[in-house]
């Protein structure tokens, strides 16, 4: 993994994160990011659903301030198809623990251009089809990432460790 400080400095700014539960056995974390400084990622997000087949990417996990209250959990995403690019996401664990816990359970992220409109944030109940249509109508296709099971287990282990150290304080 490249230098942690560089990864944190170059991470896409996160506007908001939502949890989307499909049912008891499936869910996804919706990450609204500011792509203004990264037109390559914005183009990828716009093209992602238009390309034949699925995207191919490699994800690498990184963390900073491990087990401290201000722990950062990050993901380096290197896309190979439909275009080649790499970007980072860095999450403040304390702020996004509910969303990251869902991510650690199912290993799925849906990255879309932000900021989100007020009518799509907060706790709401709507069926999946309506939600997807509203997000896609506002933000476009976005980028769907599904982690390998071993990486999902690594995320879960880091979060479990963080939660345990917070209880001990």
pLDDT at 124 (0 to 100): 59
The sheet carrying 14-23 orders its strands as 14-23, 26-33, 108-113, 143-146
Confidence of residue 63 (pLDDT cuts 50, 70, 90): very high
Confidence of residue 54 (pLDDT cuts 50, 70, 90): low
User: Alpha-carbon dihedral of residues 145, 89, 72, 76, nearest 10 degrees?
Assistant: 70
**pTM, entire model:** 0.85
Instruction: Indicate whether 108 pLDDT > 70.
Output: yes
57-61, 73-77, 92-96, 124-128 — which is least confidently predicted? 124-128
Instruction: Indicate whether 49 pLDDT > 80.
Output: no
Q: Please compute the mean of the pLDDT values over residues 76-80 and round it to a whole number.
A: 90
Instruction: Indicate whether 21 pLDDT > 80.
Output: no
27-41, 60-74, 142-156 — which is least confidently predicted? 27-41
Contact 135, 30 (CB under 8 A): yes
């Amino acid at each position: 993994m490249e230098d942690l400080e560089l990864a944190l400095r170059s991470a896409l700014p996160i506007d908001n994160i939502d949890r989307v539960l499909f049912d008891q056995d499936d869910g996804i974390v919706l990450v609204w990011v500011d792509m203004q400084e990264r037109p390559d990622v914005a183009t990828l997000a716009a093209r992602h659903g238009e390309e034949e087949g699925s995207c191919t990417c490699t994800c690498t996990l990184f963390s900073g301030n491990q087990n401290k209250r201000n722990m950062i959990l990050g993901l380096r995403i290197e896309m190979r198809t439909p275009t080649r690019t790499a970007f980072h996401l860095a999450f403040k664990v304390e702020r996004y623990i509910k969303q990251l816990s869902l991510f650690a359970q199912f290993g799925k992220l849906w990255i879309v251009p932000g900021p989100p409109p007020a009518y799509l944030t907060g706790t709401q109940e709507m069926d999946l089809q309506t939600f997807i249509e509203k997000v896609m109508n506002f933000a476009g296709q976005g980028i769907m990432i599904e982690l390998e099971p071993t990486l999902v287990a690594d995320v879960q282990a880091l979060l479990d460790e963080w939660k345990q150290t917070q209880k001990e304080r």
